[in-house]
Amino acid sequence: MKDKNTIEYVSGSQQGSEKRFDFYGTYFLDDTGDATVGYLAGADYRMGRESKDEFGERIAPDVADPYVIPSTLTFYAKDVGKPVKYIRPDFAIDLFKTDVLNYRTIPKDKFWRFQWYYEVGVGADPIGDSETITQKHRALVYGIWDYIKNSGEYDAENYDLEYVACIPGKRESRRLMGDYILKERDIVAQTDFDDTVGHGGWSIDLHAIEGFFSKELVNKHFYLKGIYQIPYRTGYSRNVDNLFMAGRCMSATHVAFGSTRVMATLSTLGQALGAAAYLCKKYDVMPRDVSQHHVKELQQLLLKHDQYIVGCKNEDEDDKARNAKIKTSSIKQCRLLEIADGMIPEDNIAMLIPVKARVEDVSLSVKAFKDTCLRYTVYVPSKKENYYPETKITEGQIDISASDDYRWIKLPVNQDVGGKIIFLEIEANRDIELGISDEKLPGVVCMRKNENRAQTLCDIETLEKKDFMWHNLNAQLCFDIFPTQGVYEPENINNGYARPYGLPNLWLSDGKVDGEYVSINFDNVKNIHEIVLYFDSDFNQRLGYEPKDFDVMPTVIKDYDVYYKEGEAYNKLVEVRNNYQRVNRIEFDPIETDEVKIVFRATNGSLNAGLFEARVY
């Protein structure tokens, strides 16, 4: 340490070569997981669970304790094509002699791999007792495999262990404290921060402290109403001046950590802190100074590099496209009129529709098997970043007479809800069939309402088991809306938002790709040297851990050409083929022009060309 508040260097060993290295620097970032750098530097930290009273957290225990979310040791097995005998080693737990499987399951369909809830570690120091915890994990894994192989309950005769991890996947240990500590209420109430630099959306997911051997529920998922913001102040130490902290050791309570700990969320903070370190060097300041004097520049820098910051618009004064006039070859309307199939709504069905202005009515394509009544309710979310049915704005019922053919049925809405989505819920009715389109629209999502039978899925307001869950329908209802909503207009390309926020915020072509174009027209000749394009990467798509039947998002533009205008002629600037990335940066020698035109040739499978934002420098 240079002094008690400043790190001078970090020293570490390389195990394979037995070499030791001293890393000198002006700024340091702790992403060790266990907050090792911060701990050795004397940074303030916490480990364990805070009490309810300390931060007013409903989900926290009544009394603080040192417990953390347990870890998991991963393993995989494979079918080797012949019988394999397995004898339980002496160190392994004999599950036949325990009652653990009265409270936990080893799934029949995925016995060949670990499950996240194969957890141990309660009461042990996740750092100081790490070797003991690892031995307990091995005892559990080889005991589980013994039960799989020798209980007769699994089709595992030809399976053999292929891989068992050397060390457990650790979920929680030390958490370093920053100028702000993210808390339960920040996540639940979706607190707006002036210094927001990242976001999260995972439920508050807290596991049973006793892990696999607990008689309690394996975990509780407290489902949120929408995404929440992560402030920059959670990413640097409050008492070590030149220390950033990312990953699991960010500044949060145990309860808030139950949501922030997942990789997709932590990656947003990691990107933000890398950008903040750049600004520290640029201005020769410490991390706290960025919070106090340069946070707007930090946010704009992150937006340029495709970080999503809730509610923040592109205000980059160097971006010449911001004040340009955008022209396009065509514009997709927000409606689906062509019926490809039908669906009987055996459960309640919901449709999320982006709305730019007042809505008089929504029309659905309906066929009735007998005289019946269609009942519906319309909700809106409380925030533009939410897609949850929070506030009911209208409801109604429409009498429908029997018919062999589909008819368009108008559902009155008569509400001003511009700039948000409406959440249209259709009551289950086995006497009708709804028309289904084979086309998809960005921002239009259909879902099915199912009874929730899982005790682990909880409501964030009541903290009790949720009564129902909404699941993706993987289909689009045919619909029309009046007045017509100009959702996919050209001005979206420079409206400041490169991702959905209230509205989808992208331009979409009308039914074809090859030859469709976007033209960026400046008010006078500009000297330019860089173009940045943000393509449609399908934010309707729910990304999970299950494999997809495609390896590139179909909506991403694959082939396109860029032209610039010189006099009355258009000169080709660049030709791009086989692109699969959402963000394309095109750098070139400076040119002077008053118009840039992007001509699309192909997507990676979508029927329409989509573009969220174009920047020109």
Query: In the structure encoding, which two tokens stand for residue 110, read together?
Result: 């995925």
Residue 94 has what pLDDT?
A: 97
pLDDT for res 571: 97
Whether 396 contacts 412, CB under 8 Å: yes
In this prediction, residue 544 carries a pLDDT of 66
The confidence band for 511, taking pLDDT boundaries of 50, 70 and 90, is confident
- Give the phi and the psi of residue 226 in degrees, each rounded to 5: 180, -175
Grade residue 463 by pLDDT with cuts at 50, 70 and 90. very high
H helices, E strands: number in the chain: 8, 34
pLDDT at position 545: 61
What mean pLDDT is predicted for residues 135-143?
Answer: 98
CB atoms within 10 A of CB 369: 14
pLDDT of 50 strictly over 80: yes
Residue type, 19: K
Which tokens is 510 given? 């009308």
Which of left, alpha, beta for 18 (phi over 0: left; psi -120 to 50: alpha)? left
Q: What is the pLDDT of residues 177-228, one digit of tens each?
A: 999 999 999 999 999 999 999 999 999 999 999 999 999 999 999 999 999 9
Q: Which residues contact 252 (CB under 8 A, 6 or more apart)?
A: 175, 181, 182, 183, 234, 260
Q: Which amino acid is at 526?
A: K
Classify 168 as helix, strand or coil: coil
**Radius of gyration, alpha carbons of the chain:** 28
What confidence tier does 170 reach under pLDDT thresholds 50, 70, 90? very high
Q: How confident is the model at residue 546 (pLDDT cuts 50, 70, 90)?
A: low
Domain extents in the chain: 30-67+173-304, 71-164, 325-330+488-616, 341-482
pLDDT at residue 414, as a whole number: 96
325-330+488-616 CATH fold: Jelly Rolls (2.60.120)
Residue 542 pLDDT greater than 80, yes or no: no
pLDDT of residue 549: 73
Chain centroid offset of residue 152 CA:
40
Query: Is 429's pLDDT higher than 80?
Result: yes
Give the C-alpha distances (Å, rounded to integers) separating 153 from 85, 87, 109.
Answer: 15, 16, 11
Instruction: Return the pLDDT at 551.
Output: 85
If DSSP codes are grouped into helix, strand and coil, which group holds residue 612? strand
Q: How many CB atoms lie within 10 A of CB 28?
A: 22
Q: Copy the structure tokens of residue 563.
A: 């032209």
pLDDT, mean of residues 571-575: 97
Closest CA to 9 of 178, 237, 242, 174: 242
3-state helix vs strand vs coil in the chain, percent to 5: 15, 35, 45
Q: Residue 127: enclosing H or E segment and its boundaries? A: none
Q: How far from chain centre, in Å, is Cα 160?
A: 35
The Cα 86–Cα 159 span in angstroms is 10
Which residues contact residue 98 at a Cβ distance below 8 angstroms, ignoring those fewer than 6 apart? Answer: 213
pLDDT, residue 547, reads 64
The pLDDT of residue 601: 98
Mean pLDDT, rounded, for 484-501: 97
Q: Among residues of the chain, what percentage have pLDDT more than 70?
A: 99
- Work out the widest C-alpha separation in the chain, in whole angstroms: 86
Mean pLDDT, range 357-374, rounded to an integer: 97
Average pLDDT on 89-96 reads 97
Q: Is the pLDDT of residue 57 over 90?
A: yes
Q: What is the Cα 594 distance to its own chain's centre?
A: 38
* Model confidence band, residue 474 (pLDDT cutoffs 50, 70, 90): confident
Per-residue pLDDT, averaged over 242-247, amounts to: 97
152-169 residues labelled b (16+ CB within 10 A) or e (exposed): eebebeebbbeebbeebe
Residue 307: other Cβ atoms inside 10 A:
21
How much is the mean pLDDT over the chain? 96
Query: What SS3 state is found at 489?
Result: coil
The domains spanning 325-330+488-616 and 341-482 adopt the same CATH topology: yes
Model confidence band, residue 418 (pLDDT cutoffs 50, 70, 90): confident
Kindly state the average pLDDT of the residues 19-35: 96
CATH architecture designation of domain 341-482: Sandwich (2.60)
Q: What is the mean pLDDT of residues 539-558?
A: 82
For 579, residues 6+ apart whose C-beta sits below 8 A from its C-beta are 535, 556, 557, 558, 559, 560
* CB neighbour list of residue 561: distance below 8 Å, 6 or more residues apart: 572, 574, 575, 576, 598, 599, 601
pTM of the model: 0.95
